[in-house]
């Protein structure tokens, strides 16, 4: 069996680490200097959650996500605070259960809704677990200020690098196409083609607002739109060349880079200079480009694509990427009920055990039980490992120093660790978060020994989630993989069944949808394989899904090659039908 495909690791996010350190240190230092430590701690909690939702996506998306994070967290904090101040027995527990039902009901509707639901529940856990003196409105406002600080730090570079993220995403597509052409005919050809698909998906998401007609003509990054649409056509030609299964001359792999240099010149180099370096647009033999008289239609198509590309080329219409079709109303209701049940069990355990700061148990449940964020078992395992590592790390720090300013410096360092972990590994992110919370609790005046209590509470919360999830919803990951596989195969069939003479824009849209769904289905199958406790009868189902995805990918490659002209008549869409259907089980 082939090794599962994995996306390459992203570079170390030094800018995000610096933002995290500043966002946590500034409010705490301000609170110590002004004497408003309690409000500073709440602002630090807001900054902590903001760092967890900071990202490398376009600035508009960052601000929107951080705005939802802050707004919902502040609303939840207010509800929990009012329940705690009411003094009525069970008020906080009832508030937590209602928040969990709401969070579970909206979390499966999309990434932004999931983030909003998560932080609504987190806000209630903190508001109901930490008594805050002063007027009722101060705590939510302080929390909002912490999130706003992260948003400000994250979005400020927009002033001098407005579309740099979008340009980098589109350039990555051309680099991936170059790598796929260089790998053609070798063992790394198929993984390289998948990396190209992943790069196109990422660029499509990054440019989504600029591609779907929501901006008026003449506004926005016209060159980026042109470069992306050219990249979509380049993806079809590249897949056709990879599908041929033969090694290509080294000069062929330079064509995508030359095309990118013409359409997206590097800063400081004019378009004319880039075009001169790449070769004359109207030349039949531009430097590094295969001869238009080649025996391969795909090579001729590649040459034509390069010689005809330019910033004044008309743009095609582009549809939005499809949403994830793995859940329905029944799944949303089941998840909401299970999440509420887990939160209720955690809250009751916290009350019965009389543990310090009982919010830790329900808060851990809220973080762990996120099936839309990845395999639940791995998330629970990484949460426990990160908590142990965080307790050990902050214990080592307190052995060296207990000074207030030194601890704030440690918070800044752990915030940087968390920012890196958010992008690379959940256990690393949990390590930073756990250590930061220990310092925040200490600043509030609670100097009790909480190390073992935190570790045991985390393990108990993870056990509650795992027992509830695998006892009452054991097939969620496998069901998601099956649903996404069916959607991917259907999208491949729609691409295959496109009638001759259909507009090129429609063909490109169907092709993009098909490859996007196939990539999502492959990731869903990988997530299902990572869940424990699969019965032997379930393994063939995942194997069938993998075979269906691989067959659909080959089908899309063959259809694309047919449209480019590289596929012989035997691989025309009508003839590929039986081959693909047999591999998919009919």
How sure is the predictor about 280, in pLDDT bands with cuts at 50, 70 and 90?
A: very low
What contacts 152, CB < 8 A, 6 or more positions away?
Answer: none
Give the H or E element holding residue 139: helix 138-155
Hunting for tokens 């110590």 — which residue is that?
32
**Which tens digit of pLDDT belongs to each residue from 488-536?**
999 999 999 888 888 888 888 889 889 989 998 998 888 888 887 654 3
Residues 459 and 45: their CA atoms lie apart, in Å, by 22
Residue 521 backbone dihedrals phi, psi, to 5 degrees = -65, -40
Crossing angle of the two packed helices 91-107 and 59-86, in degrees rounded to 10: 160
**Which tens digit of pLDDT belongs to each residue from 67-114?**
999 999 999 999 999 999 988 878 999 999 999 999 999 988 888 999
What mean pLDDT do residues 329-357 have?
86
Pick from 60-74, 112-126, 182-196, 317-331: least confident: 317-331
pLDDT of residue 245: 83
SS (H, E, C) 245-310: CCCCCHHHHHHHHHHHHHHCCCCCCCHHHHHHHHCCCCCCCCCCCCCCCCCCHHHHHHHHHHHHCC
């Amino acid at each position: 069996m082939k090794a599962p495909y994995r996306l390459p690791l992203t570079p170390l996010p030094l800018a995000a680490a610096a933002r995290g350190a500043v966002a946590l240190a500034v409010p705490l230092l301000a609170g110590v200097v002004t004497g408003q430590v309690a409000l500073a701690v709440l602002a630090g909690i807001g900054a902590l959650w903001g760092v967890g939702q900071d990202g490398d996506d376009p600035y508009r998306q960052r601000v929107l996500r951080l705005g939802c994070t802050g707004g919902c967290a502040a609303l939840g904090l207010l509800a929990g605070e009012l329940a705690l101040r009411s003094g009525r027995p069970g008020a906080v527990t009832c508030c937590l259960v209602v928040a969990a039902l709401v969070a579970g009901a909206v979390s499966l509707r999309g990434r932004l809704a999931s983030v909003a639901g998560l932080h609504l529940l987190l806000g209630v856990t903190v508001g109901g677990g930490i008594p805050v003196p002063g007027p009722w409105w101060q705590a939510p406002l302080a929390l909002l200020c912490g999130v706003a600080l992260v948003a400000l730090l994250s979005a400020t570079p927009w002033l001098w690098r407005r579309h740099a993220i979008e340009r980098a995403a589109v350039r990555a597509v051309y680099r991936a196409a170059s790598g796929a052409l260089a790998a053609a005919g070798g063992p790394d050809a198929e993984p390289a083609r998948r990396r190209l698909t992943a790069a196109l998906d990422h660029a499509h998401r990054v440019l989504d607002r600029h591609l779907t007609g929501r901006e008026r003509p003449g506004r926005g990054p016209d060159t980026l739109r042109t470069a992306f649409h050219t990249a979509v056509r380049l993806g079809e030609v590249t897949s056709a060349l990879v599908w041929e299964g033969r090694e290509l001359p080294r000069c062929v792999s330079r064509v995508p880079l030359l095309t990118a240099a013409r359409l997206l010149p590097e800063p400081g180099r004019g378009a004319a200079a880039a075009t001169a370096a790449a070769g004359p647009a109207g030349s039949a033999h531009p430097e590094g480009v295969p001869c238009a008289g080649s025996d391969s239609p795909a090579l001729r198509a590649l040459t034509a694509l390069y010689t005809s590309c330019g910033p004044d080329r008309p743009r095609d219409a582009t549809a939005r990427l499809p949403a994830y079709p793995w859940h329905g109303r029944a799944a949303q209701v089941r998840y909401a009920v299970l999440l509420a049940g887990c939160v209720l069990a955690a809250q009751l355990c916290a009350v019965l055990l009389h543990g310090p700061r009982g919010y830790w148990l329900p808060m851990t449940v809220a973080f762990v039980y996120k099936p839309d964020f990845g395999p639940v078992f791995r998330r629970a395992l990484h949460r426990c490992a990160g908590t142990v590592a965080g307790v050990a790390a902050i214990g080592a720090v307190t052995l060296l120093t207990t000074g207030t300013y030194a601890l704030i410096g440690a918070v800044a360092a752990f915030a940087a660790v968390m920012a890196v972990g958010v992008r690379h590994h959940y256990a690393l992110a949990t390590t930073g978060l756990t250590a930061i919370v220990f310092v925040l609790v200490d600043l509030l005046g609670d100097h009790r020994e909480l190390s073992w209590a935190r570790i045991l509470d985390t393990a108990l919360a993870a056990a509650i989630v795992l027992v509830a999830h695998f006892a009452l919803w054991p097939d969620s990951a496998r069901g998601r993989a099956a649903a996404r596989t069916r959607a991917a195969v259907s999208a491949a069939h729609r691409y295959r069944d496109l009638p001759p003479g259909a507009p090129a824009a429609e063909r490109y849209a169907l092709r993009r949808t098909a490859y996007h769904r196939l990539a999502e289905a492959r990731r869903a199958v990988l997530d299902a394989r990572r869940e424990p406790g699969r019965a032997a009868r379930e393994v063939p189902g995942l194997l069938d899904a993998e075979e269906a995805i691989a067959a659909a990918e080959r089908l899309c490659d063959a259809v694309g090659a047919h449209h480019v002209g590289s596929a012989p008549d035997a691989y025309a869409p009508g003839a590929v039908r039986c081959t693909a259907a047999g591999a998919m089980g009919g």
